[in-house]
Amino acid sequence: MSYNVEEMSWSDVRDLFRKWRDDNERQSDTVMQLWDGVLESKQAKLGNERHLVLEQVIIAALDCNRIETAEHCVSVLSAEFPGSLRIQKYRSMLLEALGRYDDALDELESIIRKDETNAAPRKRKVAILKTQGRTAEAIKELCDYMKIFMSDQEGWHELCNLYLSEGEYAKAAFCMEELLLHNPHSHLIHQRLADIRYTMGGLDNIEMARVHYCKAAKLNVNNLRALYGLFLCAGHIMNSKAVVGKRKEAQKLAQWAMEQIQQKTVKNVAPTDTKASQSKALGKKSCGEELAALEQAFGGLDVGKLTN
């Protein structure tokens, strides 16, 4: 959304900045436009809110690569609040934007030594290490962070991603299991844990993946990815050396999953031709071709027969 700078007063811009802070919106381009056009020359009228606005401008300036503006705001705040850990964090972000990663890490280490319970500098440290490609060190730092802030769900997600990038699937699965403790009714977490278990391979992991795919499909009946995964897991179990009872159960599960996939695939095809009969016939033909390709992609599994 564009704003006419000439028609806005400094109080209008102040209220708009306040709204964005309350709603946790960055709006970096617009913030810089309104700061340059209206608010920079009216700082004295902001009162105590001036410091919050300067912090907001620092973030926006870094997002827009306005390094000089960010440096100016940081220097102003540093002069007014010498020794502030909050301003020191912005200084580290400025160093990071300049590519001086080692200096930024030193600033963050200084903050952590002064306040070990401050989560923000620990997260920034992990982000810098990840940016530099130092994944092993980022994992170590994030593990240390999670020992202190165990309820941080975003931290578990990020640690899972880092482990996956290193091929540490068992540790990634552990992270997702920790997330399940915090949010047991999330179909996406069940689905991702099932994806990891399926990737790990082996009958035990395939069976665990099947369980989580089932849970994901139960929590969200429209989760096609969970249904596809369920079909694949059932197919593996059917063709494995599992006992006959498990293989028969897997056969029924595969049939049910394919029926659900067919129903949802046909249901989502909307006719677009002006002639209803032609569009319906074309829709059916398209669905049939898609399902045939799907079954072929699944390895031509015969879910109607089971050999002992």
**pLDDT per position as a tens digit, 27-78:** 899 999 988 888 888 888 888 888 999 999 999 999 999 999 999 999 999 9
* pLDDT for res 115: 87
Q: Residue 269: which pLDDT band, with cuts at 50, 70 and 90?
A: low
Residue 149 lies in a domain: no
Relative orientation angle of helices 67-80 and 85-97, to the nearest 10 degrees: 160
Residue 257 lies in a domain: yes
* pLDDT for res 301: 42
* pLDDT for res 273: 47
Global confidence as pTM = 0.76
Residue 302 lies in a domain: no
Residue 64 lies in a domain: yes
Lowest-confidence region among 15-29, 190-204, 286-300? 286-300
- Write the CATH number for 223: 1.25.40.10
The domain boundary residue, chosen from 82, 102, 119? 82
The domain boundary residue, chosen from 49, 82, 115? 82
State mean pLDDT over 228-241.
86
Residue 240 lies in a domain: yes
State how many domains the chain has.
Answer: 2
* CA 111/CA 118 separation, integer angstroms: 8
Identity at 272, one-letter amino acid code: T
Lowest-confidence region among 9-18, 134-143, 162-171, 269-278? 269-278
Give the domain range for residue 18.
Answer: 7-82
DSSP string over 45-100: GGGGGHHHHHHHHHHHHHHTT-HHHHHHHHHHHHHHSTT-HHHHHHHHHHHHHTT-
